[in-house]
Amino acid sequence: MRTGKNGICAGRVVVVTGAGRGLGRAHALAFAAAGARVVVNDLGVGLDGTPGPDSPAARVVDEIRAAGGEAVAHAGDVATGEGAASLIRAALETYGRLDTLVNNAGFLRDRMLVNLDEDDWDAVVRVHLKGHFLPLRHAAAHWRQETRAGRRPEARVINTSSGAGLLGSLGQGNYSAAKAGILGLTLVAAAELERYGVQVNAIAPAARTRMTERTFAAAMAAPDDGFDAMAPENVSPLVVWLGSADSAGVTGRVFEAEGGRITVMEGWRPGPTTDHGERRRPEEAGAAARKLLAEAETPGAVYGT
């Protein structure tokens, strides 16, 4: 990686959570290569969210600096108010500004629903959903203040959902619910923050990371054509573009990204409908529902089925 001082994000300050490994690391390196100054956040925990032996954030910072870029590490817990606040302060105190927030931090505690205990539910929902909300809240407060001071930003937020949030995934009820919640948060934030110069979008990436290595085990072998479709670096170009000023006018959208493929997801919208004009009896409601279902598109299959 070489940093590009005249790249698409030259002059911008970018915060990436969960940036010590996998997708977050790829995003941080890609932003630096595009000319951004990067705040690399990672708590340094294991796959299940328990403390790890060291923090990888500093290693990513070293990579960026070795390539001529600018970066600083942050090891706070973004699912706490103080951790999220200190993350935004790190950008402002180090570089004097904040332009882009990439919410990426997360971990897994997979169980089938009948085996999923309350602690595993709370832990996953906390880091994914609350870990998106709190950095977004503190960043948005800063951008609102800037707008009110006459300095309307060209701010960007990229949230990280998943195909599990779009379709569901067997054994991942907690993760699927949290990732679906991130989509709802993205839509609300896009509508509320547009007046402050903030665009908010979400990605649903498919890539090989610690969290997905079992899911994509069949794709782990080296590709014959030299293109590793499951490499996390494939997702980062879209994230960098969404985090740049070049993405002006794009907000409230959800993108799937995998390998060389990008898909705009169209989400929930009204399908077939009927209006009886008055209250139905249960049997009438059932007959109407079955008729509508016969006219509707079949939903995508839940992952793992």
Residue-wise pLDDT for 75-94, tens only, equals 999 999 999 999 999 999 99
* 247-251 average pLDDT score: 97
Window from 44-48, 219-223, 288-292 with minimum mean pLDDT: 219-223
Chain mean pLDDT for the chain? 91
Confidence class of residue 128 from pLDDT cuts 50, 70 and 90? very high
Domains of the chain: 13-265 (3.40.50.720)
Q: What percent of the chain has pLDDT over 70?
A: 90
pTM, entire model: 0.90
pLDDT of residue 217: 47
Share of residues in the chain with pLDDT > 90 (%) = 81
Higher-confidence residue of 4 and 239: namely: 239
- Per-residue pLDDT reduced to its tens digit, 190-247: 999 999 999 999 999 987 755 544 544 444 454 556 778 889 999 999 999 999 999 9
| pLDDT at residue number 44 | 76
Instruction: Check residue 49 and give its pLDDT.
Output: 44
| 89-113 tens-digit pLDDT | 999 999 999 999 999 999 888 899 9
- Let me know: does 99 contact 60? Beta carbons within 8 Å: no
How much is the average pLDDT of 174-181? 96
Look at residue 219 in the predicted model and tell me its pLDDT.
Answer: 45
Please check the confidence at residue 48 and state whether its pLDDT lies above 50.
no
Q: Which residues have CB under 8 Å from 283's CB, separation 6+?
A: none
The pLDDT of residue 45: 58
Please name which of 148, 143, 150, 130 lies closest in space to residue 200, comparing C-alpha atoms: 143
Task: Locate 189 and state its tokens.
Answer: 């934030």
User: What residues are annotated to the active site?
Assistant: 162, 175, 179
pLDDT band at 20 (very low <50, low <70, confident <90, very high): very high
DSSP code per residue over the chain? ----TTSTTTT-EEEETTTTSHHHHHHHHHHHHTT-EEEEE---B-TTSSB-SS-SHHHHHHHHHHTT--EEEE---TTSHHHHHHHHHHHHHHHS---EEEE-------B-GGG--HHHHHHHHIIIIIHHHHHHHHHHHHHHHHHHTT----EEEEEE--HHHHH-BTTBHHHHHHHHHHHHHHHHHHHHHGGGTEEEEEEEEE--STTTTTTTGGG-SPPTTS--TT-GGGTHHHHHHHTSGGGTT--S-EEEEETTEEEEE--S---S----SSPPPHHHHHHHHHHHHHHSPPPPPPBT-
Mean pLDDT of 162-188: 96
- The answer on pLDDT for 38 being more than 80 is yes
Q: Which pLDDT score is estimated for 218?
A: 46
pLDDT at 180: 97
Assess whether pLDDT exceeds 70 at residue 47. Answer: no
What is the average per-residue pLDDT within 133-159? 98
